[in-house]
Structure 1
Amino acid sequence: MRSILLAASMLLPGSLYGGELCFQVTRELAIPSDDGQQGIATDGVHLFVQNTQQLFKYDREGKLVLAGPKRKLHHGGITHVDGKLYCAVSGCDAGGSPIHRINVYDAQSLRFMTTHDVSGHFTV
């Protein structure tokens, strides 16, 4: 089981507000995973969690609403904007990869919508 901690306040560098970096855990969501968690996003109603190959949708109480299909490429980050999930995707090969994309998924159904190739602007 992996846990995702939901913080009550944003993590900000102390130099921005003159204090120590701190936060308070308000809730912990235990998520079963056979793969590393890569990101979390919210639309204010649901939590979207991404491991390296799969998207999950939870309600705010931690109940699994929907699990997307396993994907072949490495998914490494996630954000929610206007009903869509934007996920950083790469080939993630040990020697580097020429594959770098932003995949877009429908937040309601977790259905793949489109991809944007960013390999000309990004390398690993």
Structure 2
Amino acid sequence: MTGATGPSGLPSHAAVLEGLRRVCFRQVVRYRHEPVVDVLRHLGFVDWGRQPARPSQLPASARAESYQAPVEVAVLTATGQTALDWLAALEHSPQWAEIKSLPYGFRRWKRP
């Protein structure tokens, strides 16, 4: 991910947007993830949930002999979905060039 954390220890707006998109569109496994996911978890944007079992993993299946227990994957919370929608809309605004490198949570840019 781009610029996971800056000097303040917070990720940039662009890193938060990229992290939220990654969680939304790809499975991010708890035991193998990037540091920005921990920050997203701390902000309340992401929670850990059990990966749903595939039909081939169910006990009734003949292929279930090599059953592997479901792992925990990152799941967007309602707050995370709202932040994703807000940042995605902000990405198309003229101010995005200024905002994207600022640490998430700080608003040092001026609104027009």
Q: TM-score, normalised by structure 1?
A: 0.21
The structure with more radius of gyration: 2
Q: Which protein is richer in strand relative to its size? A: 1
If each structure's helix is expressed as a fraction of its own residues, which one has the higher value? 2
